[in-house]
Structure 1
Amino acid sequence: MKATRVDAEQARRHVAAGFWAGRLVDGYLAAAATRTPEAVAVVDRGRHWTYQELDDTVDRFASALQGRGVGPGDVVSWLLPNRVEAVVVHLATIRLGAVSNPIIPIYRHRETAFILRQAATKVAVVPHVFRNFDYPAMLDEIRDEVPTLETVVVVGGPGDGGDGGRSSFDDLLAEGHADPISTPRASGDIALLLYTSGTTSAPKGALHSHDTLDHENRSIIDFFGLSAADVVFMPSPVGHIIGVLYGLQLPFMLGGTVVLLDVWEPGRALELIEEHRCTFTVAATPFLHGLVHHPSLPERDVSSLRVFACGGADVPPELVRAATTALGCTVSRGYGSTEFPTATVCNTRDAVEKRARTDGRPIGPAEVRLAPDGELQVRGPELFLGYLDASLNDSAFTDDGWLRTGDLARIDGDGYVEITGRQKDIIIRGGENISAKEIEDHLFEHPDVADVAVVSSPDPVLGERVCAVVVALPGHHVTLPGLVEWLTVRRTARQKLPERLILLDELPRNPSGKIQKFRLRDLAREHTTLGVTR
């Protein structure tokens, strides 16, 4: 496995400037285990893992994988919840010189088979049961589609004695040893293969090296002034770029503690923040919304929380304002992706309105620019090295090496970026372009609305009309005339007013929290009558 979009001259500049510092992702854990072996590294379901325990376990798992024939460049895929085993598998794989391939645990047969097959996975690690789903059974059913798969490792369940290529996590650990692994590696080697949890089409496998991952985390540490005294709270799925970076890597770079939450429940999240005095988290909009609106919030002491960086999905300005007051911390929108984890964000030096109304300013040496059509393009030391399917690269990159994000944006006079929508998220009504995000931001502030998305609805005359898809607050009633009046009072242009309303119990979201608008567009195509659909 190799990168396909490496610009040798730009790589040289990153090294010369110190952005790529030649460090290995797993090396921070080993260094912290030597420096402070008894410090708490991970809190998971009430158990505390010290740095020495964690580092020894990583070595044992890495040596066991090596004994099973896994070597540099081989892919180890894993579908695991936010638990310590995910930390072990991720860092052990990287320590061996192999490629870690996290997969969101809510993926099922079709998506999982596609990823394992394209990645040529050699070992897959899954839970025995999580949220009442039998993962080993799923792998049994798709195994014929993945000819490279040699070993399935089951966490929390039995193996099969080796007859069917299935081992338990504990049995595999017993095969290993705690002596350091000696494998020739370089910081430019591929360490992570992560598939985008996109809102359209099949997932795309993005390749990151030690260098790109290390720079991203160091830039976040510098930007937010993080140290070993910080306690990271991680509810975001560790199969997503946010969870990988800030749950499985950044805490060990700090020499601090990470508190993992495997099943999202905002009341439990508030308990953990209070109990462990958590200071820093990065998570998507639904997590922030859940904390702010949970009835137990006034009873909880969350004063330790300094930063809630919110990204991965659209963040309504009013939610940032409300959360800043309710949580008493710096709440910031940020912009990034699997391919370029953090391009822009705000910190305590930025005014609340900048944090609410924009997606922040470029962080460190990250560069942003607008194409003539308003598309945001990004470039910098954390930019991924290309897709595993190299045929996707030409359309993803410009000729001069910038990533085409597919997002429309504007940049204000102070350099702050505001995402205004997706290129495909523009509604063209009678030949006039309408931003779905602009309408969404207004409707989110409606007192009866819990969640909202705006999509196009096909029309034989105008081409498209505006369709609002709304989740009402419990006990509240939402009507189309009420939404129209709300927008009219805010002097919204007539052509932007919704002409259709679809009421749902919840909006479909992908694992990173982004609304799956393609599903809502499908729904709007199925119900083309103007008015209200329930």
Structure 2
Amino acid sequence: MRATRLDAALARRHTEDGAWAGNLVDGYLAAAATATPDAVAVVDRERSWSYGDLDGAVNRLASALRARGVGPGEVVSWMLPNRVEALIVHHAAIRLGTVSNPIIPIYRHHETRFILRQARSAVMVVPDEFRGFDYPQMVADIRDDLPELRTVVVVGASGPAADMAFEDLLDEGRPDPVPTPGRDADDIVLLLYTSGTTSSPKGALHSHNTLDHENRSIIELYGLSGADVVFMPSPVGHIIGVLYGMQLPAMLGIPVVLLDVWEPGRALQLIAAHRCSFTVAATPFLAGLVRHPSLDEIDVSALRVFACGGADVPPDLVRSATDALGCTVSRGYGSTEYPTATGSNTTDDLVKRSRTDGRPIGRTEIRLETDGELLVRGPEMFLGYLDPALNDDAFTADGWFRTGDLARTDADGYVEITGRKKDIIIRGGENISAKEIEDQLFEHPAVADVAVVATPDAVLGERVCAVVVPTPGRAVTLDDLVAWLTARRIARQKLPERLVLLDDLPRNASGKVQKFRLRDLVASSQPVPS
């Protein structure tokens, strides 16, 4: 798999200025296993794994997959919660020279089928069950549409829908280092899908070099060292979890403490028990800690940095969390395509940390278009989409990435995101395509017209609201719409949580729905003026 936007000039520029150091992502894990094999690498559900244990498991899985014919350039997809098996699969895929393709566990048949087909995945790894959902059965339901999927691996109790149990596959491999000649730091190692303004998810491509630069810039920004402990409640199927939960800890030889199901009381206990000092997570995670009644009774004094992003972060929350947690709480801005463009640290005062999304970090360059759209460029930027047809709209002719977000900068160079050109809803840090939901609801027989917009929410930032014009003579209820989408196996977080009925949708002269008016309506609960 090659990135269409990686050329010799780009590689030479970033290499010559030291931004791309030529490090292999999995090389840090191997080095930590050699230097400190008994040091704790992962804490998962009360069990600790050493660096020696983790690296040995990665080698075993990589060698077992190789023996089964999985080779360089192929895609290993996995849909796993925050558990040690996710780290093993991710690093094994990279060590083998294949491409790691995390898929968030909240996706269902509709999204999973699209990703596996487009990625032409050779292997799929799923849990036997997570939060009451049968993942092997889902893959079995869609497998006839996936001619290139050769092996389905199940973590946990395997059944008839699985080709192989994860533990059995590990037993087939060897713990010795897996030589994979010909690997290069410009190789694509991560295919991560993000949902934006289009109906279908978009597969973003990252190399060893882009991911490595991002993490080195974060280590520098927050002054991370071998004394830190990472707490990771963000899904490891997200760019946040991939970078800071699965890759950054090995770079420093430090532990990562995983939490697979978010519960703020449990999170506080883990932070206290393991003296966690650093985390990156979305607004609902921060709000959950601050508002939990047991916070005053639990010692979280080791926590020194909570970097918050992925959704709008209210200034009051940053201020109250700074006081309640006694640590540096900062807003940041990034995406799957450009993981961290802006951020702030202890050198930035509380006013800047609470009211802005920080300043450009590392070698990041930013530019504002005349309409206020933020453009970014730098060595951690992704190398294009798997579908090259998407690149034309995503990049300018001179290589800037169009974020689709509107921003302004202050006199000191701090960036504040003010809105989005992309028609997405950010619910608890999850990007949800409004168009995807609209496309499904348009087919409902009682729906004559529909627009999906965000409705503000104090906890999750935004929730999904369906604005519907009913078919004449038909009644529409929220339960009807939810049932319709559920039957089509749409991910649960995309289901509308509010319904507004109108006689007509407001449109401009060209017929485009004026969503800004609908957002104002939803926020104010007042009728849309004619």
Note if contact 1:332-1:346 (Cα within 8 Å) is conserved in structure 2: yes
1:131 aligned onto 2:145: no
1:166 aligned onto 2:163: yes
The Cα of 1:71 is off from its aligned counterpart by: 0.7
**Equivalent runs, 1:31-430 vs 2, <5 Å:** 31-158=31-158, 166-184=163-181, 185-198=183-196, 201-424=199-422
Deviates more, 1:238-247 or 1:292-301: 292-301
The Cα of 1:424 is off from its aligned counterpart by: 4.8
Partner-residue secondary structure (3-state), 2:279: strand
Note if contact 2:196-2:422 (Cα within 8 Å) is conserved in structure 1: no
- Distance in 2 (CA, whole Å) between partners of 1:468 and 1:65 is 43
Partner-residue secondary structure (3-state), 1:4: coil
Structure 1 residues 159 and 169: alpha-carbon distance in aligned structure 2, compared to 1, 3 A threshold: farther
**Which amino acid letter does the alignment assign opposite residue 337 of structure 2?**
E
> Which stretches of structure 1, 4 residues or longer, exceed 3 Å deviation after superposition?
197-200, 467-473, 515-533
Deviates more, 1:80-89 or 1:318-327: 318-327
**Which amino acid letter does the alignment assign opposite residue 414 of structure 2?**
Y
Structure 1 residues 468 and 425: alpha-carbon distance in aligned structure 2, compared to 1, 3 A threshold: closer
Partner-residue secondary structure (3-state), 2:354: helix
**Which amino acid letter does the alignment assign opposite residue 29 of structure 1?**
L
**Which amino acid letter does the alignment assign opposite residue 70 of structure 1?**
V
The Cα of 1:9 is off from its aligned counterpart by: 1.8
Partner-residue secondary structure (3-state), 1:61: helix
The Cα of 1:228 is off from its aligned counterpart by: 1.2
Note if contact 2:197-2:422 (Cα within 8 Å) is conserved in structure 1: no
Note if contact 1:200-1:516 (Cα within 8 Å) is conserved in structure 2: no
Partner-residue secondary structure (3-state), 2:250: helix
Partner-residue secondary structure (3-state), 2:284: helix
**Which amino acid letter does the alignment assign opposite residue 312 of structure 1?**
G
Partner-residue secondary structure (3-state), 1:129: coil
Structure 1 residues 199 and 328: alpha-carbon distance in aligned structure 2, compared to 1, 3 A threshold: farther
**Which amino acid letter does the alignment assign opposite residue 245 of structure 1?**
L
**Which amino acid letter does the alignment assign opposite residue 63 of structure 1?**
S
1:14 aligned onto 2:11: no
Partner-residue secondary structure (3-state), 1:195: strand
- Distance in 1 (CA, whole Å) between partners of 2:107 and 2:337 is 20
The Cα of 1:243 is off from its aligned counterpart by: 0.3
Residues 97-155 of structure 1: CA deviation (Å, up to 9, x unaligned):
00000000010000000000000000000000000100000000000111100000000
**Equivalent runs, 1:508-527 vs 2, <5 Å:** 523=500
- Distance in 2 (CA, whole Å) between partners of 1:407 and 1:245 is 22
Structure 1 residues 302 and 211: alpha-carbon distance in aligned structure 2, compared to 1, 3 A threshold: same
- Distance in 2 (CA, whole Å) between partners of 1:165 and 1:277 is 39
- Distance in 1 (CA, whole Å) between partners of 2:500 and 2:73 is 42
- Distance in 2 (CA, whole Å) between partners of 1:364 and 1:67 is 41
For normalisation by structure 1, the TM-score amounts to 0.81
The Cα of 1:68 is off from its aligned counterpart by: 1.2
The gaps in structure 1 that reach 5 residues or longer are 427-435, 438-454, 456-466, 474-502, 505-514
Partner-residue secondary structure (3-state), 1:268: helix
**Number of matched pairs:** 461
- Counterpart for residue 5 of structure 1: 5
The Cα of 1:521 is off from its aligned counterpart by: 9.5
The Cα of 1:469 is off from its aligned counterpart by: 3.5
Identity over aligned pairs, percent:
71
Note if contact 2:158-2:165 (Cα within 8 Å) is conserved in structure 1: yes
Note if contact 1:153-1:166 (Cα within 8 Å) is conserved in structure 2: yes
**Which amino acid letter does the alignment assign opposite residue 176 of structure 1?**
G
Structure 1 residues 394 and 305: alpha-carbon distance in aligned structure 2, compared to 1, 3 A threshold: same
Structure 1 residues 335 and 522: alpha-carbon distance in aligned structure 2, compared to 1, 3 A threshold: farther
Note if contact 1:308-1:330 (Cα within 8 Å) is conserved in structure 2: yes
- Distance in 1 (CA, whole Å) between partners of 2:454 and 2:9 is 48
**Which amino acid letter does the alignment assign opposite residue 252 of structure 1?**
A
Partner-residue secondary structure (3-state), 2:332: strand
- Distance in 1 (CA, whole Å) between partners of 2:502 and 2:494 is 12
**Which amino acid letter does the alignment assign opposite residue 323 of structure 2?**
T
Note if contact 1:153-1:159 (Cα within 8 Å) is conserved in structure 2: no
The Cα of 1:8 is off from its aligned counterpart by: 2.6
Note if contact 1:408-1:421 (Cα within 8 Å) is conserved in structure 2: yes
Partner-residue secondary structure (3-state), 1:26: helix
What is the Cα-based RMSD across aligned positions, in Å? 3.0
- Counterpart for residue 29 of structure 2: 29
